[in-house]
Homo-oligomer: A and B are copies of this chain.
Amino acid sequence: MQFTFTKELLAELRDWIADGKDTAIIAAITDAHEADLAELIHELRRDEAVYFYKLLDDERAAAVLLELDEDVRELILSSLTSREIAEDLIENFDSDDAADVISELPEQKQEEVIALLGDEEQASDIIDLLTYKEGTAGALMGTEMVKVNQNWTVSQAIREMRKQAEDIDNIYTIYVVDDQDVLLGTLSVKTMIFTSSSMRTMVKELFKQTKVRTVHVNTPADEVAKVMEKYDLVVLPVVNDQNILQGRITIDDVVDIIKEEADKDYQMASGISEDVESSDSIIALTRARLPWLLIGMGGGMISANIIGVFDISQQPQMAIFMPLIAAMGGNVGVQSAALVVKALANQSALDETLFQKLWKELRVGLINGLVCSTIILLVSLLFHMDLALCITAGIALFFVIIFASFFGTWIPMTLNRFKIDPALATGPFVTTLNDIFGLIIYFTIGHYVIQRIGEVTWAFVG
């Protein structure tokens, strides 16, 4: 029932593009949604993509453009003249999308496009929006909304709304303002339209007196997302210092931010720089992954050095529990760091302090450490391993788990304090550090235990 692309259709489309069979292409995509068309364009070669894109009618071309990945959008935009961008695309956009697209153009083209815009009000809105810093509520908001003055009558308001609604796809909320455009409250479409009061009622008698939840134009985008998510908002008004209504942010823009934030943390934890997908080029994938591997390599070399310093050839049996110690340090550290990152993402005033978190981690670490140490001690004794080695493994594992819990909590909290993304601490970075410290703890304890209990001898039954 709903349109979906298949690999067969993709192959067919590519043939038609090669042969210039425009009518066949247009017929095949009549029912396709812009998100589907964007997905398709991402599968095409650059020249095919441009060819295909130019076959779309203006309204669809505009909608598809917003769905494209940034690099493909750049390719398409560079194939269009300033006049085409201004007249065919921008006029079909909401102000927030228009500003986003224009901000991606080279500076000279930006000015050309703005100069060519037919609608002066749109042009001035866009110029205003371009002044907001990327990643703020101002840069995220659109200016299309329905706004009524509290001193209007209902019939006056409905007349004005009819005018304003021409540019708007969906009326979420009606904003009530005073003569200075200061936001006073909201009205639902339902109240306004289905009010049983007379058409001569004043708007001020209808609207809710409860405080409206707003954000400031400079509020960071991730905080906007948090507010909309927490309070289940579909639309959120944006105001300036004087509480004057500047625009509104809709949930669809914020869903993308919520998704991106979560994906970014996930990728960081997995040792991948932001913004790659498995469908990206091999070069892009390598670029996103290699730096983290090099961190791991650096850590591995430091570990090699430590093993050298402790002279493993004197106690080769110590090697047996090295992988276990390293793995446990890494695992515990990543767990602790991930919990902190998640807590920081959902921060509230009632949160635990660093000290409270560390104290809690210490207790969790104590339990995990005791359980794991006891198991390793019992299992290794069961396998008739050397007593000194069993004791070393047990004690070392206990301290490694506690240390890694602490370290995994402390690093992201500290990064966050210095305004560095705490998610950095969840991936190979914290694992590598915990590997190193884990080895040091293991060898130090081994050194001490062996001095007391005597030479470790090879007794492991492989």
* Interface-side segment among A73-81, A84-92, A126-134, A290-298: A290-298
Residue pair A35, B230 in contact (C-beta under 8 Å): yes
In the complex, chain A residues 340-399 whose Cβ is within 8 Å of any chain B Cβ: 340, 342-343, 346, 348-352, 357, 360, 363-364, 367-368, 371-372, 375-376, 379
Interface: A135 (CB within 8 A): no
Interface: A320 (CB within 8 A): yes
Give chain B nearest CB distance to A85 CB in angstroms: 22
- Distance, CA A432 to CA B326, complexed state (A): 11
**Residue of A213, A266, A276, A461 ringed by the most chain B CB atoms within 10 A:** A266
In the assembly, how many copies of this chain are there? 2
Residue pair B343, A327 in contact (C-beta under 8 Å): no
Interface: A449 (CB within 8 A): no
Residue pair B35, A292 in contact (C-beta under 8 Å): no
Query: Contacts A39-B350, A162-B194, A188-B169 given: A312-B304 contact, CB under 8 Å?
Result: no
Among candidates B230, B340, B360, residue contacting A282 with C-beta atoms closer than 8 Å: B360
A426 surroundings in chain B (CB, below 8 A): 270
A350 surroundings in chain B (CB, below 8 A): 5, 7, 10, 39-40, 43
**Residue of A39, A193, A271, A305 ringed by the most chain B CB atoms within 10 A:** A193
A305 surroundings in chain B (CB, below 8 A): 462
Residue pair A277, B339 in contact (C-beta under 8 Å): yes
Residue pair B171, A270 in contact (C-beta under 8 Å): no
Residue pair A372, B297 in contact (C-beta under 8 Å): yes
- Distance, CA A258 to CA B276, complexed state (A): 19
Q: Look across to chain B and name the residue whose beta carbon is closest to the beta carbon of A261.
A: B262
Residue pair B364, A309 in contact (C-beta under 8 Å): no
Interface: A303 (CB within 8 A): yes
Q: Look across to chain B and name the residue whose beta carbon is closest to the beta carbon of A38.
A: B230
- Distance, CA A331 to CA B429, complexed state (A): 10
Residue pair A312, B323 in contact (C-beta under 8 Å): no
- Distance, CA A40 to CA B320, complexed state (A): 50
Give chain B nearest CB distance to A444 CB in angstroms: 15
Interface: A452 (CB within 8 A): no
Residue pair B339, A272 in contact (C-beta under 8 Å): yes
Among candidates B258, B277, B328, B339, residue contacting A343 with C-beta atoms closer than 8 Å: B277
Query: Contacts A319-B319, A349-B4 given: A304-B324 contact, CB under 8 Å?
Result: yes
Q: Look across to chain B and name the residue whose beta carbon is closest to the beta carbon of A436.
A: B323
Query: Contacts A266-B269, A371-B290, A460-B308 given: A35-B297 contact, CB under 8 Å?
Result: no
Give chain B nearest CB distance to A203 CB in angstroms: 16
- Distance, CA A3 to CA B307, complexed state (A): 56
Among candidates B7, B271, B313, residue contacting A349 with C-beta atoms closer than 8 Å: B7
A120 surroundings in chain B (CB, below 8 A): none
Question: Which residues of A come within 8 Å of B, CB atoms?
Answer: 1-7, 10, 31, 33, 35, 39-40, 43, 161-162, 165, 168-172, 188-190, 193-194, 211, 213-214, 228-234, 250-252, 255-256, 258-259, 262-263, 265-267, 269-272, 276-279, 282, 285-286, 289-290, 292-294, 296-297, 299-301, 303-305, 307-313, 316-328, 330-332, 334-335, 337-340, 342-343, 346, 348-352, 357, 360, 363-364, 367-368, 371-372, 375-376, 379, 401, 426, 428, 431-432, 435, 439, 458, 460-462
Given contacts A267-B338, A304-B460, 8 further A-B contacts (CB under 8 A): A2-B213, A161-B194, A234-B252, A282-B360, A292-B335, A293-B332, A299-B323, A303-B327
